[in-house]
Amino acid sequence: MPEVVFSVDQSLSMAAQLVPGHNRWHPDIPAAASVRPGSEFRVECREWTDGQIGDNDSADDVRDVDLSVCHMLSGPIAVEGAEPGDLLVLDILDLGPVPQSAGAAPGEGWGYTGIFARENGGGFLTDHFPQAYKAVWDFHGQQATSRHIPGVRFTGITHPGLFGTAPSAGLLARWNAREQALIDTDPGRVPPLALPPLQQGVLAGTLKGPELERVGREGARTVPARENGGNHDIKNFTRGARVFYPVHVPGALLSGGDLHFSQGDGEISFCGAIEMGGFVDFHVDLIKGGMEKYGVTTNPIFMPGNVEPRYTEFLSFIGISVDHDTDTNLYNDATIAYRNACLNAIEYLKKFGYSGEQAYLLISAAPVEGRVSGVVDIPNACCTLYLPTAIFDFDIRPTAQGPRRADRGACAVST
């Protein structure tokens, strides 16, 4: 086992750890540890809400979650010799839930998927599912089942939702400016168009007092992916993957967390993965001047791993960029197209007895693939959602007999 450079006691909040992590992007958060290029090391992580969600049958915790403390990240970890313009080469050697344990924190043998309430987080289908819902998943080695979504068992495509390097002060300022400009186009929107810096709930490692306040005022929220990597939620950052992160500050300052036992492309219910705490083992290296050498000016590039669960039979749903309720045509809008593909999948699964919420949670968490299939056949972008048929313990393929409807239980709801 490689050396643990950032450790976590899962019975304590991140703020109470010996060396606490952070929950904002800011170049002045001090490094919690330092590693050398060529080395291997372990990072332990808390679940992204810092343990606010429980292994129970009520979604009230999801409804009432305090998002000001999210995502709770481990780091920053300084990489010796890294300079702006380099590419940080990060190999994911291993990752998983909290090893050798059973307990109350997500990752200790279980995880959850949440549909967030429209008023507190929202999600991709929040107009269709405005309330809070939850499914708890039990881990069986590589596989997961949920008492809230019976009839389903799948192999997790385990990955970190969020890792990234620190932004420079200038890059951070650009983020804040462009996101505020977006917010200003509709400041009262629920859910909001973007999340500005927020003092409430801020944690910045060992910083305290005015320095912590400054991070609260300036630090970028962790929800979106940006030029530093960040919250990609790309399900293919699995074991064996290699990510090339742009370096924006000396030492690179790598941070992350938000581990997922599994997730479908899009992570559509916002908290749509199977959320957990756990660990990641990395190997790190540098390509000096790699950003210029390879033309990497904005986002990281990566190579996915070769131990992903391979499902080969899929039932696939298509969506196009039309609002079918109002018969309104959008122009080449892949977001709407993928939303329609998701809605089509949900309608289909309802015919077998699942509730819409169960179906929504399922296609969020299971290893579904979401494809940008066509983006040139104007005006209709075309996206597709691939649902592996083998995750069901009954036949979900269309037949002349029609669907086998059954009692499929219920997911956790809020009061």
Based on the shown chain and the rule CB under 8 A, indicate whether residue 182 belongs to the binding site for a copy of itself.
yes
- Binding of a copy of itself at residue 193 (CB under 8 A)? yes
Q: Determine which residue in the list 124, 133, 137, 392 makes contact with a copy of itself, applying CB under 8 A.
A: 124
Is 408 a binding residue for a copy of itself by CB under 8 A? The answer is no
User: What count of other Cβ atoms lies within 10 Å of the Cβ of residue 357?
Assistant: 25
Q: How far is the CB of 78 from a copy of itself (least distance, A)?
A: 20
One residue of 208, 209, 312, 415 binding a copy of itself per CB under 8 A: 312
Segment contacting a copy of itself (CB under 8 A): 7-15, 43-51, 53-61, 122-130? Answer: 122-130
202 with 21: CB under 8 angstroms? Answer: no
Distances in whole angstroms, Cα of residue 392 to Cα of each of 87, 202, 259, 389, 399: 42, 42, 24, 6, 16
**Residue of the chain from 34, 56, 206, 306 that contacts a copy of itself (CB under 8 A):** 306
Binding mask 51-90 for a copy of itself (x = CB under 8 A): ------------------------------------x-x-
Structural element, H or E, at residue 230: strand 229-230
- The reply on whether position 184 binds a copy of itself by CB under 8 A is no
Residues written for the chain: 415
CA distances from 209 to 19, 203, 214, 318 (A): 17, 11, 9, 52
In the bound complex, what is the minimum distance in angstroms from residue 30's beta carbon to a copy of itself?
Answer: 26
Q: Taking phi first (over 0 means left), then psi (-120 to 50 degrees means alpha), and beta for anything else, what does residue 337 get?
A: alpha
Contact residues for 209 (Cβ-Cβ < 8 A; gap 6+) = none
The candidate with the shortest Cα–Cα distance to 166, out of 128, 208, 237, 220, is 220
Residue 104 is a binding residue for a copy of itself (CB under 8 A)? no
Out of 41, 112, 163, 270, which residue is the one contacting a copy of itself (CB under 8 A)? 270
Are 78 and 31 contacting, i.e. CB atoms less than 8 angstroms apart? yes
In the complex, what is the shortest distance from the CB of residue 348 to a copy of itself, in angstroms, rounded to a whole number?
Answer: 5
268 binds a copy of itself (CB under 8 A): yes
Alpha-carbon 376 to chain mean position: 29
By CB under 8 A, residue 23 contacts a copy of itself: no
412 binds a copy of itself (CB under 8 A): no
- Half-sphere exposure for 12 (CA within 13 Å, toward CB): 12
Of 52 and 380, which has the nearer Cβ to a copy of itself?
A: 380
Question: Can residue 145 be called a binding residue for a copy of itself (CB under 8 A)?
Answer: no
**36 part of the interface to a copy of itself, by CB under 8 A:** no
Q: Amino acid letter at 109?
A: G
Residue (of 354, 352, 370) closest to 362 by Cα position: 354
230, 85 in Cβ contact below 8 A? no
Near a copy of itself in 210-239, by CB under 8 A: 223-226, 231-236, 239
Part in contact with a copy of itself (CB under 8 A); list of ranges 48-56, 60-68, 72-80, 118-126: 118-126
* Dihedral angle sign, alpha carbons of residues 225, 241, 368, 162: negative
Name the residue nearer to a copy of itself (CB basis): 48 or 205. 48
Among 131, 142, 168, 199, binds a copy of itself (CB under 8 A): 142
Tokens of 47: 């679940």
Nearer to a copy of itself, 171 or 212 (CB): 171
Candidate residues 143, 168, 199, 414; the one interacting with a copy of itself per rule CB under 8 A: 143
212 or 391: whose CB is closer to a copy of itself? 391
Least distance (Å) from a copy of itself to the CB of residue 252? 16
Residues 353-392 contacting a copy of itself, CB under 8 A? 369-384, 386, 389-390
Residue type, 376: V
DSSP for residue 237: -
SS3 label, residue 102: coil
- CB 337, min distance to a copy of itself, A: 8
Least separation in angstroms between residue 182's CB and a copy of itself is 4
Closest CB 119 distance from a copy of itself, rounded Å? 15
User: Angle at Cα 233 formed by Cα 164 and Cα 43, nearest 5°?
Assistant: 50
